[in-house]
Structure 1
Amino acid sequence: MASTLCTRASSLVSSPTIRRRLPLVGAFCMLSLGLTNLCPTLSSSLKTGSAPSLPFFGSKFSNQARASSNTIKMEGNSKTVPSIVVYVTVPNKEAGKKLAESIVKAKLAACVNRVPGIESVYEWKGEIQTDAEELLIIKTRQSLLETLTEHVKANHEYDVPEVIALPITGGSQPYLEWLKSSTRD
């Protein structure tokens, strides 16, 4: 089964168009689905503390996973707070920059990544729409989601702005501590 998947994946990756888009697609998949949802063997390895044996990551990943003592799970750590990643789309670069800066200035997020060049396809008022947009990836405290959502609604030109939150279940302890100290209580 795994070899069949690897064979199919390698044939897909041979396309130049796919190769250019793979890093971005992979990042969105990892953020959206989470690595543990994509790889059940990794999920059980994380629970037991043993490094997974995954053919598509190779032994280098396994060695790095074993050596990493600076990563944490979010539960039960007083130096961090429950945190989330929030996706918001905006119509253009100027709107993205303005909104991102206002969010960080108000301490509603520690960091906002602006990802240009996305294209959204959706149905609006009974018609299929296609628009060039920019994606904001916002890292913040879970407790700030409602306030952040209200801030986005008040400062966004869309009637119904996208605000989608995903939990951060773990990561680099220094980064998560910085996220906590960079946002308001």
Structure 2
Amino acid sequence: MAISRVSSVFTSPAIRRRLPIVGAFCMLSLGFHNLQPSSSSLPRLSFGKGFSSIRMEASNNNNTVPSIVVYVTVPNQDAGKKLAASIVKEKLAACVNRVPGVESVYLWQGEIQTDSEELLIIKTRESLLSALTEHVKANHEYDVPEVIALPITGGSIPYLEWLKNSTRE
């Protein structure tokens, strides 16, 4: 009986839709560099026509800068839309992805809380983290907004160049 309940959980449409998102978060958290050979003689790897990947520490490309992905949760879609637009308008990030339907379970003031939220996935320069954090604090309704940064250790050179050119110095 327990096995059929478990298998029915993974076959539910809601779970199937969320599994790719969970996989994406795991890849972002673990880092794509773990999938690349560690040889320093391979700073660029080709994964097909028109796509190249770099490891940031191996790159001498002056057209990119050390970059990060920042996670911020917000209470609803309206707050997410407003905060995302203000971040991009101020050139604190090149892009903000809004992921609705995130359920957060956390400890707050000694009590377990469960809230529906929206997750913002923000791509920006590492050097803008302090300014971005201050902007989030000033424009967020939570007392303690989540601001978590993860390094981008590699990626598409044209995308990373676009990220640099779309943000302030």
**TM, length-normalised to structure 1:** 0.77
Secondary structure, aligned partner of 1:96: helix
- Report the more deviating stretch, 96-105 or 26-35: 26-35
1:139–1:46 Cα change, 3 Å: same
Q: Which has the higher contact order (CA 8 A, sep 6+)?
A: 2
Matched, 1:72 2:67: no
Residues 13, 19 of structure 1: 8 Å contact kept: no
Map 1:107-118 to 2 at 5 A. Answer: 107-118=91-102
Matched, 1:96 2:103: no
1:93 aligned partner, one-letter code:
Q
Gaps of 5+ in 2: 1-5
1:117 aligned partner, one-letter code:
G
**1:17-42 deviation line (CA, Å, top 9, x unaligned):** 343322111011101112444xxxx3
Residues matched between the structures, number = 156
**1:6-64 deviation line (CA, Å, top 9, x unaligned):** xxxxx979931343322111011101112444xxxx34x25364xxxxxxxxxxxxxx7
Aligned partner (choices 109, 115, 138) of residue 154 of structure 1: 138
Corresponding residue for residue 165 of structure 2: 181
1:143–1:154 Cα change, 3 Å: same
CA distance in structure 1 between the aligned counterparts of 2:33 and 2:61, rounded to whole angstroms: 21
Corresponding residue for residue 20 of structure 2: 23
In angstroms, what is the RMSD of aligned CA positions?
2.3
Corresponding residue for residue 106 of structure 1: 90
CA distance in structure 2 between the aligned counterparts of 1:69 and 1:89, rounded to whole angstroms: 31
Identity of paired residues, percent?
73
2:104 aligned partner, one-letter code:
S
CA distance in structure 2 between the aligned counterparts of 1:179 and 1:130, rounded to whole angstroms: 34
**TM, length-normalised to structure 2:** 0.84
The structure where helix makes up a greater share of residues is 1
Matched, 1:172 2:167: no
